[in-house]
Structure 1
Amino acid sequence: MKHLLNLLAAVALLVWGTYLVRTGILRVFGANLRHVLARSIATRPAAAMAGLGVTALVQSSTATALIVSSFVGQGLVGLATALAVMLGADVGTSLMAVVFSFDLSWLSPLFILVGVVLFITRQSSPLGRFGRVLIGLGLMLLALRLVAESTGIIVRAPAVKAMLESLSSDILLEITVGAVLSVLAYSSLAIVLLTATLASSGAIPVDVALGLTLGANLGSGLLAVVATANSAVEVRQVPMGNLVFKAVGVLLAAPFVGLWVRHVSPYIAEHATLVVLYHLTFNIIIGLVFLGLTHHVSRLVEQWLPKQDKNMVAGRPHHLDPSALATPSLAISNAAREALHQADVVETMLLGMLRVIKDNDLRMAEELRKMDDTVDQLYSAIKYYLTKISREALGEEESRRWTDIISFTINMEQIGDIIERILIDIEDKKIRKGRNFSDAGMAEICELHARLVDNLRLGMSVFLNGSIRDAQKLLEEKARFRDLERAYAGTHLTRLAENTAQSIETSSLHLDLISDLKRINSHICSIAYPILDSAGALAPSRLRPPVMPEQPSRVL
């Protein structure tokens, strides 16, 4: 019983080490990995090589599937190209299995020691997160050694020997067990390494190990499908296409497991090497065979999972992919894209507001006020999505971006509320009472509105690119807008003194309107503060230092 418990603990340690490596790599290189994939998928062979390289680093084809699926969901790449990336990703994880099959246990103490020192001393820095990766690698190597030791003891027990001698190969059962274990462990790599170690120690026959390896391949495809089950249709298409490759590959390879054992095992004495090379060969052949068929499979998957026509103003949030929450950098990017969509809705409201003022269009006013509900819903969805991202998993730059997105969405939500109140006032105090602004007053409102639209677009650019120069320009516009508002309030009072009838009728509405436009501009300019603050370009206070009165000299 004790030795069985040791084996299970070693297996759990192997799965945990794999998780630490995967999450650690994504935290250190997450954004860069996305850029590499985005820039390296011009052709299908290049896409496959990019998938191979990224997955060899991350050690998880499932993580690569989530990243590539988000690209398809955002319309950045086609489904056929994304499937080519996944074929390379499967080869990448197979290569890592070959590397870990060698006896590298002597590196385990070194990796754990260095990793713990880096993680404790520089925990919030990229170097500290790299220490987390080293800890994971060390634990994986340690776990593989413990698995070998525990199985070596267990297989010497008489009862286990008798059970193994009576064990007959059932390829369908082995594939099923391997697939289930991969899903439960959230890592096909861990299961393949475990299978190779068990075969090396004699705990299971080689042909059984190969069947479990096929099942682990199938399980990795099922895992990605399960992980994206609640995502948009475009996101689910990539894992489904990859599952088709794996299912067909396993179906074709299963009858020929015995050939591999008979013809290859005489040349490779080590059973662990035999298993991982089978795993690598399987994925290479699948990649070569299906690389030219990605277009056909993509069309088949699109028939199974057709894209739905969505109104990007109404309906549920489009970019907030729940499956991306396990990759903080990807989730932050999704939230930023949805925040920009929220800003697009606000811009539509702002542009339509002037048409309502000019044309007295009650129907448009009602449509624009309904759009404020969409802005509020997007704000709530983005805020809830961001709260589900682990703050501990975010680096310093990502934490700052997290705060920027929250601040941006709050400002957009408040701008939407102000526009809604303006529209209600226009309906009640202008349209229904048949009043109009004077020509001079209307020209002033149009001037302020044009500046407001320009500033909103500049603010969206600042939020997207983080340009310090644009942020400074946006903050300068706040002072200019304030001066204009004061000037136009003064000219309006002058028109009142001249007894201009239209100005007298709309005086309260006019002053409230230009004041509300200034408030909207203040919310827009608030976008610049986090950018300038992080760059150290903000003064501590706008107040002048007090002037101390001169002290009378004391006569001694």
Structure 2
Amino acid sequence: MLTLLHLLSSIALLVWGTHIVRTGIMRVYGSHLRRLLGHSMANAPMAFTAGIGVTALVQSSNATALLAISFVAQSLMTLPTALAVMLGADVGTALMARVLTLDLSWLSPLFTLVGVCLFLSRKQTRAGQLGRVLIGLGLIILALQLIVAAAEPITEARGMQVLFSSLAGDTLLAVVVGALFAVISYSSLAAVLLIATLASAGLIGLPVALGVVIGANVGSGVLAWLNATPQPVPARRVALGNLLYKLAGLLVLPFLPMLVEWMSGLGYSPQTQVIAFHLVYNSLRCLLLLPTVRPMADLCERLLPERAQDNGVAQPRHLDPAALDTPTLALANATRETLRIGDLVEIMLARLLEALREDRPEPGDDIRRLDDDVDALYSGVKLYLARMPRDDLAEQESLRWAEIIELAINLEQAGDIIEHMLGKVQNLKTSKRRSFSDRGVAELSQLHALLCANLSLGLSVFLSGDSASARQLLQQKRQFRKKERELAHAHVHRLHQQVVESIETSAAHLELIADMKRLNSLFCSAAYAALEGQQAQRGRQPVDPPQKPQVAPAPLPGKPART
């Protein structure tokens, strides 16, 4: 039992090592790899070569699949090009399996020692992430040695011999086992390395090993399909074509016994034979299938036709899951989506002014629909940021993460406030059959114009982080507060003059002014984040607080007050 536990723990160490290498490479060179794939769209051979190179670096065809799927989902890459990339990814995996099964035992302690020193001393830097990659490589090499050592006593166990001999007579069962292990370990590379190591230890025979290798290839296609399931139809077509190409490799199964008999007479070690088969099998299969990427793309488009689905709610456009391993790219994606929320809030403000000036129902309908869109995009940004590994973010990236989530929260609450303001306006006009005075509408329009200007400048400050613009925004915030007090006093003066319309709409008028004041505070909050970020870079404590303490207004029902 203890020997089996040692074997399982060694397998887990192998899987963990491949995961560390993949995530480390993506965090350091993720943007460069995406750029490499993006520039390899001229023809299928170039895309095929790019797929080999990217997969050889990240040591995972699944990571390459996520990149290609995300490109197609954003209409940045055509389906035939993405399929060529996926074929190249299979060859890249086979090449890395060959490299990692060389006698590199002397590199394991060196990689681990250097990697740990770099990672612990400079964790949040590029050198620290490269140290993480070296640690992963050291663990992979160590795990392969441990698997060999743990497998030796298992090969002598009678029960294990009976178990693995049952696979020898059923090639299809061996394929299923290989596919399951690739899915569970999230790495076909780890599955192939394991099988080659077990074959060299004599735990499994060559027929079983080759069947499991073919199954591991199929398992990586199943894994890519599972990852693409929540994606749009164009992205799922990439995963479907990749899976069909993997299944096409099953055509070699009837010839496997003859191939095993021929390979057995070559005199090479079982490990060398397994790795060589994996490399030749993937290379020949992918080169033969490369000219068929366009017919395969047409087949996938017929099997997965585009269906127009419009549930009336906006969907995130820029939140690419494949970029989560590259914090800089992920934060840029979240920034773009948050700016999109800001654009929707700006449209809501424009519709609110129409509802204030006119009696048509259309502006109100637009505001309610847009608020649903704001809520949907806010939820997408929030969940996307929650999936980012914050412990591995650099200090500047952590600050940006906080700025994005704070602005997204503020914009979502701004959407709720605008919808609440719409309810007050419509209740006054429809239920009570009253309307604002011309002077009252003009005053609210003045505040509305200042509010739109502050929102626009606030989004600009959020995007650029410019300290001069941030100070200008704070100055405009103070001007808004001054104007708001002036207009509130002017309204009270009209009440003193017994203006009937002002008396009938007084409560709603003052409440709308208060709501605009709250919106202004939410829009101007980006200035404080920008100034604090600049001061944090210079190593100083944040200054330039508001000139006067502000009293938080009463919150909306069920909503916390924010200033």
Counterpart residue number, 1:281: 280
Match of 2:6, SS? helix
Q: Find out whether 1:522 has 2:525 as its counterpart.
A: no
Q: Does 1:435 align with 2:429?
A: no
Q: Residue 415 of structure 2 aligns with which residue?
A: 416
Deviation at 1:225, TM superposition (A): 1.7
**Paired residue type of 2:142:** L
Bigger Cα displacement from structure 2, 163-172 vs 183-192:
163-172
The residue number in structure 1 matching 2:347 is 348
TM-aligned CA distance change 1:29 to 1:283, over 3 Å: same
Please name the residue that 2:555 is paired with: none
Displacement after TM superposition at 1:490 (Å): 6.1
Deviations 1:130-155 (A, max 9, x none): 32222211111011122233334544
Taking a change above 3 Å as real, the CA distance of residues 228 and 480 of structure 1, as seen in their structure-2 partners, is same
| Structure 1 position 385, deviation (Å) | 4.7
- 1:548 maps to none
C-alpha change, 1:353 and 1:396, in structure 2 (3 Å) is same
Alpha carbons of structure 1 residues 394 and 458: separation in structure 2 relative to 1, 3 Å: same
State the 1:347 CA deviation: 2.6
CA contact (8 A) 1:232 1:321 kept: no
SS in 2 for 1:526: helix
* Counterpart position of 2:90: 90
Moved more, 98-107 or 399-408: 399-408
Distance 1:126 1:514 in 2: 50
Q: Distance in 2 between matches of 1:262 and 1:288?
A: 25
Distance verdict in 2 for CA 1:166–1:345, change over 3 Å: closer
1-structure distance, mates of 2:411, 2:166 = 69
Q: Matched residue of 1:116: which SS?
A: helix
- Partner Cα separation in structure 2 for residue 230 and residue 434 of structure 1: 49
Shift of 1:102: 0.7
The aligned runs of 1:100-179 (5 Å cut-off) are 100-155=100-155, 168=168, 170-179=170-179
Contact 1:126 1:395 (8 Å CA) reproduced:
no
Q: Compared with structure 1, are the counterparts of its residues 23 and 167 closer, same or farther at alpha carbon in structure 2 (3 Å cutoff)?
A: closer
CA RMSD of aligned residues (A): 3.7
Residues 107-256 of structure 1 aligned to structure 2 (within 5 Å)? 107-155=107-155, 168=168, 170-248=170-248, 250-256=249-255
Alignment-derived partner of residue 407 in structure 1: 406
Gaps of 5+ in 1: 546-556
Aligned twin of 1:425? 424
1:540 aligns with 2:543: yes
**Structure 2 CA distance, aligned partners of 1:223 and 1:162?**
30
Shift of 1:268: 7.5
* Matched ranges for 1:356-367 at <5 A: 356-367=355-366
User: 1:292: how far off?
Assistant: 3.4
The answer (yes or no) to whether the contact 2:167–2:173 under 8 Å persists in 1 is no
Give the alignment's TM-score, normalised by structure 1.
0.83
- The offset of 1:448, in angstroms, is 4.0
1:294 partner letter: V
Q: Which residue of 2 aligns with 1:290?
A: 289
Single out whichever of 274-283 and 483-492 deviates more from structure 2: 483-492
Matches of 1:499 and 1:85 in 2, distance apart?
Answer: 76
How many pairs are equivalent?
543
Q: Are 1:313 and 1:345, in contact at CA under 8 Å, matched by a contact in 2? A: no
Tell me how far 1:113 sits from its aligned partner.
1.5
Structure 1 contact 369–423 (Cα < 8 Å) conserved: no
Task: Return closer, same or farther for 1:163/1:355 CA change in 2, 3 Å cut-off.
Answer: closer
Show the 5 A alignment for 1:375-386: 375-380=374-379, 382-386=381-385
Could you tell me which runs of 5 or more consecutive residues in structure 2 were left unpaired when the two chains were aligned. 549-563
1:27–1:393 Cα contact (<8 Å) kept? no
Q: Distance in 1 between matches of 2:308 and 2:465?
A: 33
- Looking at structure 1, the residues matched to 464 and 70 of structure 2 have their Cα atoms a distance apart, in angstroms, of 20
Q: Distance in 1 between matches of 2:464 and 2:489?
A: 38
User: In the aligned structure 1, how far is the partner of 2:201 from the partner of 2:150?
Assistant: 9
Distance 2:275 2:110 in 1: 25
Q: Distance in 1 between matches of 2:466 and 2:54?
A: 29
Identify the residue that residue 550 of structure 1 maps to in structure 2: none
TM-score of the pair, normalised by structure 2: 0.82
> Is the alpha carbon distance of 1:305 and 1:165 closer, same or farther for their aligned partners in structure 2, counting shifts above 3 Å?
closer
Separation in 2 of the partners of 1:146 and 1:233? 43
Task: Between 113-122 and 501-510, report the one with greater CA deviation.
Answer: 501-510
Q: What's the CA shift for 1:411? A: 0.7
Query: Which shifted more, 475-484 or 485-494?
Result: 485-494
1:235 is displaced (CA, Å) by 3.7
Change (3 A) 1:35 1:351: farther
What is the DSSP-based 3-state SS (H/G/I as helix, E as strand, rest coil) of the residue aligned with 1:105? Answer: coil
Structure 1: how far apart are the matches of 2:463 and 2:297?
32
> Matched residues in 2 for 1:528 and 1:380: separation?
24
Aligned to 1:549: none
Q: Which amino acid aligns with 2:543?
A: P
| Most deviating of 135-144 and 229-238 | 229-238
Asked if 1:81 corresponds to 2:81, the answer is: yes
After the TM superposition, which residues 407-556 of structure 1 pair with which residues of structure 2 at under 5 Å, given as runs? 407-430=406-429, 432-438=432-438, 442-464=441-463, 466=465, 471=470, 474-486=473-485, 488-489=487-488, 509-536=508-535, 540-542=543-545
Could you tell me how far apart the structure 1 residues matched to 2:41 and 2:472 are?
Answer: 37
Structure 1 residues 492 and 167: CA distance shift in structure 2, 3 A = closer
